[in-house]
Amino acid sequence: MARFEENVMNEAENRQAAHPKGLYVLFATEMWERFSFYSMLSLFTLYMRNDTEGFGWAAADATSLYANYLMCVYFSPLIGGWLADRKLGYRRAVMAGGLFFMAGHLLLSFKSLPIVYLALACLVIGNGLFKPNVSTMVGNLYPEGSHLKDRAFNIFYMGINIGAFMAPIAMEAIKSKWGYHPAFAAAAFGMVISVGILWIWKGLVEDPDASSRPGKAKGAPLAASGIDSIPDWKRCMALVIIYSIVIVFWMVFHQNGSTLTYWADENTAWNVSGTISNAINPFWVVTLTFPLVWFWKWLDRRGLEPSTPTKMAFGMLLTGLSFLVLFWAAKTGEAMTSEGQPYAFKVSPVWLISSYGIVTLGELMLSPMGLSLVSKVAPVHMRGVMMGGWFAATAIGNKLTAIGVYWDQWLHSTFFLVLGGLALVMSVVLFLLVRPLKRWMPGV
Quick check: is 424 in a domain?
yes
14 found inside a domain: no
Of 286, 278, 240, 228, nearest in space to 258 by CA: 278
Query: Considering the chain, what percentage of its residues have pLDDT values greater than 70?
Result: 91
Residue 141 DSSP code: T
Nearest by Cα to 274 from 50, 51, 33? 50
Query: Is the residue at 256 inside a domain?
Result: yes
The pLDDT of residue 340 is 58
Residue 83 included in any domain: yes
pLDDT band for position 214 (cuts 50, 70, 90) = very low
CATH number at residue 243: 1.20.1250.20
Q: What domain count does the chain have?
A: 1
Instruction: Kindly report, residue by residue over 119-129, the tens digit of the pLDDT.
Output: 999 999 999 99
The per-residue pLDDT of the chain, averaged, comes to 85
| pLDDT tens figures, 158-175 | 888 899 889 989 998 999
- pLDDT for the residue numbered 3: 45
Task: Please give the residue range of the domain that contains residue 430.
Answer: 20-205+229-440
| Cα angle, residue 193 at apex, residues 190 and 250 outer, rounded to 5° | 45
The distance in angstroms from the start CA to the end CA of the chain is: 18
* Nearest one of 207, 252, 251, 194 to 35, comparing CA atoms: 194
Question: How crowded is residue 96: how many other Cβ atoms within 10 Å of its Cβ?
Answer: 21
> pLDDT at residue 193 above 90?
yes
What pLDDT, on the 0 to 100 scale, is given for residue 344? 82
Please indicate, yes or no, if residue 132 is contained in any of the structural domains. yes
Handedness of CA 46, 51, 54, 55 (dihedral sign): positive
Residue 140 lies in a domain: yes
213-225 average pLDDT score = 42
Helix, strand, coil share (%) of the chain residues, nearest 5: 80, 0, 20
SS3 268: strand
Q: Please check whether residue 189 lies inside any domain of the structure.
A: yes
Question: What is the gyration radius of the CA atoms in the chain, in angstroms?
Answer: 22
d(CA 124, CA 166): 22
Asked if residue 220 belongs to a domain, the reply is: no
Q: What is the pLDDT of residue 339?
A: 61
Number of alpha helices (DSSP H) and beta strands (DSSP E) in the chain: 14, 0
